[in-house]
Each structure stands twice: as C-alpha cells, then as structure tokens.
Amino acid sequence: TCVPTAEKGAWTVHSAQLRRTPKIVIEEEPSPQKLFKLDQVVEVLQEDEGYEGSYYTADLISIEGEQVTVRYHAFEEEEGSDVKLEDRVQARRIRPPPPPLPDDFHRTLEAGQLVEMLHEDGWWQASISSIEGGCRYVLETTYHGQTCSLGSAEIRPCSMWLWRSDRWQTTVSLHTLELHRGMLRGDEALRISFAARHEKKRAAADARRQAKLEQLEKKRALKDEEKEAKRRAKEAEERERRYRRQQELEEKKRKREEAEGEKRRLKEEQSLAAKLERLAAAAAKKGVRTGQVVECALLGGGERRELASSWYECTVLELTDGGGAVVDFGGLDMAAVPAAAARVLRKASTQTVPIDELRPAAPPTPDGFAAMLTF
C-alpha cells in the first residue's frame, strides 16, 4: 500500500512494489550495405547523363556509411589505360549480381516485355520491340530510345533487388521500377536522418562524458594540490625542526667549547703562574726580581763574544717563562757604549737575556776610592 508522506509528491512504498525501469535501446536503422563484403562483385546503377538506368559490374573496395568506393570492370581511368576507374557512389546504387536465368526464361519472352540487355559492357533497361527468327530480338532502350538486335544470351529479366528480405523480384512495369528506386532513395534519407540523430546523441554523450572527466580531473587536481601543499608544509616543518635541532646542537657545542676553552685557559694561566712563580723563585735565589737594577753584558756578549766581559746597568722589566728576563738599557749613556751596540740599542732599548747572565748591580763606589788606587 502506498502511503503519502508529508512532502508533496513523495510516497512511502514497500520494496516489493518497485521494479527496475527497462533501458530503452534504439535499434540501428537497417541498411543494405551491411549485406555486402569488401572485394565482392556488385552492379552499380548509373545516374550520369547518357547512362541513366544502366548497371555496370564493379569490385567493392570500401564502405563508409552511405558512401561506397567501387572499381569498375568496364571503365578505365584514361582511354587505353590498364588502370580501372574507381568511383565513390551512394550505397543505394549498388546491388549483388542477379541470380541465374530461369530455364524457361527465353520461351516466355514476348513483344513489349521489359528486360535488361547487354550493351556497351553494361546492362540497360529495354523493351522488346519484335522477335526475329533464330533467337534474335529487336530491343529499344527505355531511357534513350536506341534500337538494337541482340541474341538471347544478351538478354536477362528486368529485376529489382529487395534488400530487406535479400531476394529478387521480376518487374514488368517501368513505373514499378521507378517506385522501387524512389523507395531506395527514401530509405537512404531515413538512414542519413537516423545517422544524424545518432551522431547528435553520441556527441551529447561524449560532451557529458568529457565534462564528467574534466570534473573528475579537477577534483583529482585539487586533491593533488592539497597533497602537495601538505607535503610542502610537512617538509617545511621538518626543515624547521632540523634547523632548530641544528641550532641547539651548535649552541651546545659552542657552550661546550667555551667551557673547555675556559678550563684550558685557566689551566694554562695556572700553569704559567706556577711556572712564573718557579722562575721568580729561581731568579730570587740568584738575587734577580722585577724592577731590580742589575748588570748584564750588552747584546748577549756580541756575536764574537767581544762584549762578554762588559757589564752595563739595566732594569728588569719582567721575567719570561723561558727562564729569561726582559731588561731595559734606557738609562745608559750611549756615548759610553760601543758604537755597534749603541746603534742597536737606539732602535730597541729592551732585550731578553738569560737570568744566568744577570748579576746584581755593583754597590756605590766608596768615598776615597780613587785615592786608594795605586800603580
């Protein structure tokens, strides 16, 4: 039972009351060209001026919709050429070769009968004007009024091919023949119309399919863009994380190096201080200390030790960690110094000399020392 719902036009029904809507399939319009095969021998209806109504044999080369391509047996591309003429004609103009003649065909021929005669390598519609002796017939072509005398082997029934049932029917009336050809033209028009409708539907279906594909492609592109954006964001986040981690590691390394450097500096300072203390103690044992006035040889005694026994006063500025002392000769009277040493001392009055080469300054000369001098 159908129960109406609150919404207008909506019903609640049981599933047993439903059925699938049958799919409507439009059958393709039948066509005579489907009865033919490529390379088949066919007869082609001529519609050119001077050949109206005649049939010429040809080989079927191709079938393309309502158009077919044939290669004639009787016509050449050029006069005297071995290349047979190929032509593109409507499919309605071709038919298979007629069946063999009935056994009693020639006995039934009579004047005024509509037949087809072999003329100029083609079959032409004609009517029998008279019958001569010796199986000869006088015929007049239907469309051109030409008169010919032919034998029985060159005459066959005037037949129509009914392609829908694939059978032949003999005609005795030109009017019937014209009606048949008009029907073929009507069938052709119907097929062309059907093909146009079919093509329109196919184009619409293709357009819908293409639109759907484009929509799917857009969705896929959006998803790909979202994935790419997420991937880039994740990569940026990972780079930022690695950068922060690297910064932390570098900061830890810097602090560790600073701490190690500070420890090393303190250790070196302590070592240097201890060494200086030892040196100071050693120097103190020898009576040398910072700021003390001592005596030492100029220029370390000279290159040839020519100044080794000369002692000059100098002031100890500092003790070095190499067991030496930096002394200053700035208080000397350069006039009393040898010229070679004076030139050096004028450029730099300080020198570093070993502590062992220092001695305390001599005490002041006692009063009356000169009087005590004797020869």
Tell me the domains of the chain and their CATH numbers. Answer: 32-195 (2.30.30.140), 286-360 (2.30.30.140)
Contact by Cβ (8 Å): 314, 295: yes
**In this structure, are residues 43 and 60 in contact, taking their beta carbons and an 8 Å threshold?**
no
pLDDT above 70: residue 112: yes
Q: How many residues does the chain have?
A: 375
Quick: pLDDT tens for 208-258: 999 999 999 999 999 999 999 999 999 999 999 999 999 999 999 999 999
DSSP string spanning 316-344?
Answer: EEEE-TTSEEEEE-TTS-GGGS-HHHHHH
Residue 27 pLDDT? 45
Which H helix or E strand runs over 221?
Answer: helix 174-285
Q: What is the pLDDT of residue 164?
A: 82
- Under the banding of pLDDT at 50, 70 and 90, the label for residue 30 is low
Cα 171 from chain centre? 67
**Taking the model in full, what pTM does it have?**
0.49
Confidence of residue 19 (pLDDT cuts 50, 70, 90): low
- Averaged confidence pLDDT in the chain: 83
Instruction: Give tens-digit pLDDT for 259-283.
Output: 999 999 998 888 877 777 777 776 7
Give CA–CA dist 311/297, Å, rounded: 5
Residues 6+ away with beta carbon under 8 Å from 246: none
Predicted confidence (pLDDT) per residue in 116-132, tens digit = 999 999 999 999 999 88
Element (H, E) at 122: strand 122-132
Closest CA to 325 of 363, 287, 362, 274: 287
- Contact call for residues 312 and 298 (beta carbons, < 8 A): yes
Tokens of 158: 């005037």
Give the pair of three-digit tokens for residue 314.
């100098």
What is the pLDDT averaged over residues 335-354? 75
Rg of the chain's alpha carbons, rounded to an integer? 66
- Is the per-residue pLDDT at 71 higher than 90? yes
pLDDT band at 301 (very low <50, low <70, confident <90, very high): low
